[in-house]
Amino acid sequence: MASIDTVQARLAELIDPQTGRSYASAKCLRNLRLEGDTVSLEVVLPYPAASLHPAIHAQFSAALQTLDGVHDVKLGISSQIVAHAVQRGVPLLNGVKNVIAVASGKGGVGKSTTAANLALALAAEGARVGLLDADIYGPSQPTMLGVAGQQPESPDGQHLKPVSGHGIQVMSIGFLIDTEQPMVWRGPMVTQALMQLLNDTHWDNVDYLIIDLPPGTGDIQLTLSQKVPVTGAVIVTTPQDIALLDARKGLKMFEKVGVPILGLVENMSMHICSNCGHAEPIFGEGGGAAMSADYHTELLGQLPLELSIRLNADSGRPSVIADPDGKAAGIYREIARKVAIKVAEKAQDFSSRFPKIVIKKDA
């Protein structure tokens, strides 16, 4: 008959296919009990993975029911996402556990589309997600998320309540200005506007705040890396040599200011003909993989140049929402899962637990 020791020994052999580590070594197993012929326990993952729950349940049931005398497995699966370490000396944002910057060296590489679908994919896996559109000159997220024309509420006259779009919390300068009015602002005004949007928004218990950065390596990017607690950055590029040159500059900038690079996303890696399905690398091939190898970072995923991705974003229903079972949505979900796992592997931030010293003068 199975004992609690044999059950623990069997559980120690189970490997999380997403991380390559055993669930036991990652401290994901809680409240293990053996009562008669029934094993009950909880699996608490450090990353959101709602779509993987059936596979995880099947994995544990198959392993434990081979033990002598075990006929039933009661398994609870959940995720517990915590705050992780950021740049030294930068405090965490109120209501936000982790900040992920999505950046590109140049415009037109699909960065905003990637940011929107990444945020929606994390939310689809069960996380609480916020999305900050940091492109002050050309905000696009209100349109992409189908919330253009809405205005955020201000319950106290000082803070803004983010707009809800497809289940995620969204903030953009596009909610506060006329969409046809150009932002003729100099750098200091733009960075001040970004910090106000970030700090004056009442983010509600966000696990991941995705920041859609403007292209380049200018004032906004430097301000973000120096004053905002960024957990990590995702670089978006295309396989084209010119785009890769600028993407390398963006990656090096984050490295210099101590922001970890979570990985690289290659957009437009292959053109898919909407009539015949023929695939052709019109912007070149292998560029993203070569850059990842040069900088010892991971190529998180490669998105095709596909008409549906553009149409879905323009209609306010990005691919993860418009076609959740489609190929593009599957790639975005895989990228999101890899990003969440890389964040989970970082050191935790315990600053909120430190006592605060207050010095008072005697009356």
Of 232, 246, 251, 237, nearest to 283 (Cα)?
237
**CATH class of the domain comprising 96-344:** alpha beta
The gap from C-alpha 310 to its chain's centroid, in whole angstroms, comes to 21
**C-beta of residue 257 within 8 angstroms of C-beta of residue 222:** yes
Residue 238 CB contacts under 8 Å (≥ 6 apart), including other chains: 109, 110, 244, 266, 267, 268, 269, 283, 287
Q: Which residues are annotated as a binding site?
A: 105-112
CB 260 within 8 A of CB 232: yes
- For residue 311, the model assigns a pLDDT of 94
* Cα–Cα distance, 262 to 230 (Å, whole number): 11
Contact 239, 266 (CB under 8 A): yes
Task: Name the pTM for this structure.
Answer: 0.90
C-alpha distances (whole Å) from 191 to each of 89, 183, 246 are: 19, 13, 22
- What is the CATH architecture assignment of 4-79? 2-Layer Sandwich (3.30)
What was the pLDDT predicted at 363? 47
Chain CA centroid to CA 61, Å: 30
pLDDT of residue 278: 82
User: Which strands form 38-45's sheet, in the order they lie side by side?
Assistant: 29-35, 38-45, 72-79
Name the token pair of 230. 């960024």
Tell me the angle at which helices 219-227 and 241-256 cross, rounded to the nearest 10 degrees. 30
Delimit the domains of the chain by residue range: 4-79, 96-344
* Residues 102 and 114: beta-carbon distance below 8 Å: yes
Residues of the chain with pLDDT under 70: 180-185, 187, 349-363
C-alpha distances out from residue 194 to 59, 200, 212, Å:
46, 10, 11
Calculate what percentage of the chain has a pLDDT beyond 90. 56
Dump pLDDT digits (tens) for 31-52: 999 998 999 999 999 999 999 9
Binding-site entries for ATP: 105-112
